[in-house]
Structure 1
């Protein structure tokens, strides 16, 4: 019945399965639907409270307060008692000028870490660092360094400067990401895969000696559940030359992140360097779409912003799983796991394909012109 091309019922069933198998819809169902159901029940219960039933403003206010409490229960926060040990740890995070990256850097500073804010926009990141200085006892330990992941030369300059200043690296967080119109990097790569995957891989390559010297150390890769939209690595069209779509290219780059982290974890097993993959949550308002003015103005400003405080994770909530993986004892022992909402989760089958991970590793090393046995 379901394979029949002549049955309207079959077409409707196939369409239903196609829609419900969509990973983004599944994520919304996972978190937003329980929230909506609870919020609806709260609204119905408020009708029985005399003051709320007669005064709409009071009813809305009470509903808002209770719904926020529910949201904070669903989107967990990392306990503030999970802190770095005395003396702190040295943490490097990319993409720290705004969004989840800045929220992560702020939180890790508050937990006693020495945080190096890697950012393309140095002034923006410095302002964030200055803004939190008064909130942290004795001021935050750390500083801002310029990094541009779209250029191998810029990454090399960044690492040279970093190694002059720091003698150890306890935690490397690969947070920076590009989502926007098709562009080409200084090295000739399509920018989405060039920044999100190849740029970060080259950074890890240059910092690996320091990470091994600083064991036990951690590498945290920011993945995303959007990787589920990609059924496999586009080895035949790795740079999206045959038709470019922003969301598909971004999903492809996130799948590459996942497979890179998987292979890296396998190669680093037993060295004292652990690798963790983090999905910050869907949706998290951030500046990912800043390169697309239409999406930024229409979608982000007029849709996401007004609804953010009601239904979306904040950037702080989106940063908490990364913070957990950077600080918790559990993540110092395990490696190669995928985390969401501070719990282990299962990625797509494509993200667990070991053969694809090995093939991607080899291809990436060829593109970056580095020895594939660097780990």
Structure 2
């Protein structure tokens, strides 16, 4: 682990020359990250499933940063057609991309399927972001200076396993196992992207993984709400109140991974406090499984086949 003297958002510095995309930017960690980027001068794209909620979030951000440049573009990661449309809209309206924050996600929900028939947690958390990153890779590579892809995982990736025999949970489904699998996929993807970029001689795009620790957001409520379980909802709310840090602090690892000058591709950032659940960001080691290059390569190939998105980057 590498400490950084209690890094805070105030140390992020001026990013007024940067264009940043944040998925899931209308609430929780995504909103806090987008707000911080905006108050530090960045041109921020709020990539949101609901344009209406994205506009509302943008209006709140402008109350703190009246001069900020904000754009809301619809993005539904559960529909690859929407991902394609977002990428096209972004290319039509922006000339560069310095930071892509793959942040949006769902957690521990009953089994449902995306528009293309993928299990929703795997489809949204991993496949949607895999496709999005690939479709924006040319913009990341063409941007002057360094650009970064920051992929949000979870400490629960440590319990995850990639079940290639049942990726979509059709034979057997456990909501927490599916979540762990999707979050492990996030880290495997981040590291494999970094390896492929370097193998291709791309030195000015860095891929980094991060996790927020235990942060209180509406992410924890969606599972109980979809199950119509008042008892579980109360339990989540009580746990959040007793144990979680706020979303503003939970967004710090993503902001650090996106902007800190000492960050290199292939690193993993999370809170450095109690059991890595809270505190200020630091560089950490992810699970042993996340460094399995054979699994990462296979996951990459499967993801490209499922999404139809090819990066043009060979394996290292």
TM-score greater than 0.5 by the shorter chain: yes
- Give the drift of 1:298: 3.2
Structure ranking higher on relative contact order (CA contacts 8 Å, 6+ apart): 2
Structure 1 stretches lacking a partner, 5+ long:
1-74
Which residue pairs with 2:307 in the alignment?
368
Shift of 1:285: 3.2
1:279 matches 2:218: no
The answer (yes or no) to whether the contact 2:137–2:311 under 8 Å persists in 1 is no
Distance 2:173 2:18 in 1: 41
Larger radius of gyration: 1
Q: Which residue of 1 aligns with 2:87?
A: 159
Q: TM-score, normalised by structure 1?
A: 0.74
Asked whether 1:127 is paired with 2:65, we answer no
Q: Deviations over 1:67-90 (max 9, x none)?
A: xxxxxxxx95524032234x4310
Q: Does 1:298 align with 2:262?
A: no
Aligned pair count?
295
Aligned residues of 1:114 and 1:141 also touching (Cα < 8 A): yes
Query: Aligned to 2:12, what secondary structure does the other structure show?
Result: coil
CA contact (8 A) 1:228 1:251 kept: yes
Moved more, 178-187 or 342-351: 178-187
Change (3 A) 1:346 1:135: same
Secondary structure of 1:261 counterpart: helix
Q: What secondary structure does 2:217 align onto?
A: coil
Any residues of structure 2 matched to 1:77-96 within 5 Å, and which?
A: 78-85=8-15, 87-96=16-25
Asked if 1:314 corresponds to 2:246, the answer is yes
Match of 1:176 in 2: 104
Are 1:221 and 2:154 an aligned pair?
no
Match of 1:203, SS? helix
| CA distance in 2 between partners of 1:295 and 1:337 (Å) | 38
User: How far is 1:97 from its partner?
Assistant: 1.5
Cα offset, 1:324, TM superposition: 1.2
Instruction: Give yes or no for contact 1:290–1:296 (8 Å, CA) kept in 2.
Output: no
Deviations, residues 330-372 of structure 1 (Å, cap 9, x unaligned): 12xx111111122111111111101111111111111123446
* Aligned equivalents of 2:78, 2:137: Cα separation in 1: 20
Per-residue Cα deviation, 1:38-82 (whole angstroms, up to 9, x for no partner): xxxxxxxxxxxxxxxxxxxxxxxxxxxxxxxxxxxxx95524032
1:306 shift after superposition: 5.0
The answer for the alignment partner of 2:276 in structure 1 is none
Identify if the C-alpha distance between structure 1 residues 184 and 347 changes in structure 2 by more than 3 Å, giving closer, same or farther.
same
Q: 1:305 to 1:289 in 2, by over 3 A?
A: closer
Give the match's secondary structure for 2:10. coil
- Give the Cα–Cα distance (whole angstroms) in 2 for the partners of residues 251 and 365 of structure 1: 21
Query: 2: CA distance between counterparts of 1:107 and 1:306?
Result: 28
Q: Which residue is 2:118 aligned to?
A: 189
User: 1:236 aligns to what SS in structure 2?
Assistant: coil
The alpha-carbon deviation at position 106 of structure 1 amounts to: 0.8
Which aligned pairs between 1:23-42 and structure 2 lie closer than 5 A? none
